[in-house]
Amino acid sequence: MGSLLGGLWAFSMGICAAPASEVPDALTSQAPAVAGLNGTTFVAWSGWSGVQSHTVWYSTLNGSWSPQAQIRDALTTAAPALGVLGQQVYLATTPPDSGDEIQFYLWNGSVFESGGTLCDGVTCAQTLATPALLGNGTLLYVAWTTPNGAIGYATFINGVWFIASSPVPNAATDPAKGPTLALYGNQLYVSWVDTSGATISTAVSTLPLSSGSWSTQSISIAAQTDAAPSMAVLTKPGSTDSQALYLAWTTAASTISFARLNTSAEWVASGSPIPLPAGEITRLAPALYGFEDVSPNQQCSFHSDVAYTGMETPHDKIHFHQKINPCP
């Protein structure tokens, strides 16, 4: 009864924290991907079996988890990525024997279907790591780590890819670690782990995006990590409708640390915007995602999501945490 009364109080205050859960039957050796559309959360992962290539699976959450489903003919070497453009969910993989190209799949409302590769007619994006996807209006942004450790990027509009001729300025990372993207305050943010593994750096671009719109200096924060970072706009702890840009990374102690972008455009250490278990929880990259949902009765809610791959034996499970607040 106490938990029920607590849930009713939280609901009346405009806060709904869904119980922490494991994605049913999801077993993986890599990091998960998260996205959301129209009140439905999508989680994707690479299958446990396989050494260099893995099958690709997903499940959706809208009140309850759907049974896991395999994406037909999809194989990947790195963990998959998810993104949303308009009313379309995109999933990206790095298939084996493809020249390190990025393959896309599109959600048709029932299943994911093949959507081609990231090529612009002149060149194709190549990566050894998980790419990052981010939708904004009619544009889909994609960033990836090149085989030599630079950060490439591209835009997708009206069915056409445009790959930037130059990478993000001054960005250098481990070719096996992917970047992360976020949109905040009408600016595009891309973050990556520096080659030392001791610092996460962030470049900022004004919009519209161009080779000359990137900041000349990056924002950095000390962060010792062996995994890729993740960024998203999430609701602040203790607030019902105030949001901030968060950065998350997995520490050497197998915990997840967070930083929040302050009003001076600096990363400052922060607690988790969603309560997480204490102690060791993951060795792999976390996944953050925030999205709005408008119900049929025109009530707007904002979903803040955190997912990570656990440390169970013999197979690692995917853990998911969500908080729902009113829109700001």
Domain for residue 194, yes or no?
yes
Torsion of CA 310, 26, 173, 272, to 10 degrees: -50
At residue 314, the pLDDT reads 75
Q: In percent, how much of the chain has pLDDT > 70? A: 94
Judged against a pLDDT cut of 80, whether residue 231 lies above it is answered with yes
Local structure of residue 68 (DSSP, 8 states): P
Asked whether residue 15 is assigned to any structural domain, the reply reads: no
**Whether residue 261 has pLDDT greater than 50:** yes
pLDDT confidence of 18, banded at 50, 70, 90?
A: low
Residue 10 lies in a domain: no
pLDDT of residue 136: 95
Q: Which of 3-12, 163-172, 244-253, 283-292 is least confident?
A: 3-12
Residue 7 resides in a domain: no
In a domain, 34, yes or no: yes
Domain containing residue 309: CATH number: 2.120.10.70
Closest C-alpha among 233, 254, 232 to residue 180: 232
Confidence band for 273, pLDDT divided at 50, 70 and 90: very high
Residue 183, CB-side half-sphere exposure with 13 Å CA sphere: 18
Which of 289, 298, 296, 297 minimizes the C-alpha distance to 324?
A: 289
Domain residues for 118?
27-326
Domain count, the chain: 1
78 falls within a domain: yes
**Average pLDDT for the chain:** 92
- 52: pLDDT strictly greater than 90: no
Residue 240 is predicted with a pLDDT of 72
> 294 in a domain, yes or no?
yes
CA distance 243 to 103: 33
Q: Which residues sit opposite 162 in a β-bridge?
A: 155
Non-local CB neighbours of 86 within 8 Å, separated by 6+ positions: 135, 137, 138
Instruction: Check if the beta carbon of residue 186 is closer than 8 Å to that of residue 154.
Output: no
Nearest to 172, CA basis, from 142, 195, 197: 195
Per 3-state DSSP, the chain is made up of helix, strand and coil in percentages (nearest 5) of 5, 50, 45
Measured CA to CA, the distance from residue 313 to residue 299 in angstroms comes to: 42
Say what the pTM is: 0.93
Tell me, letter by letter, the H, E, C secondary structure of 78-143: CCCEEEEECCEEEEEECCCCCCCECEEEEECCCCEEEEEECECCCCECECCCCCEEEEECCEEEEE
d(CA 190, CA 186): 13
For residues 328 and 309, give the distance between their C-alpha atoms in angstroms, rounded to a whole number. Answer: 30
pLDDT at 48 (0 to 100)? 87
Q: How confident is the model at residue 20 (pLDDT cuts 50, 70, 90)?
A: confident
**9-13, 70-74, 123-127 — which is least confidently predicted?**
9-13
3-class SS of residue 251: coil
* Structural domain contains residue 115: yes
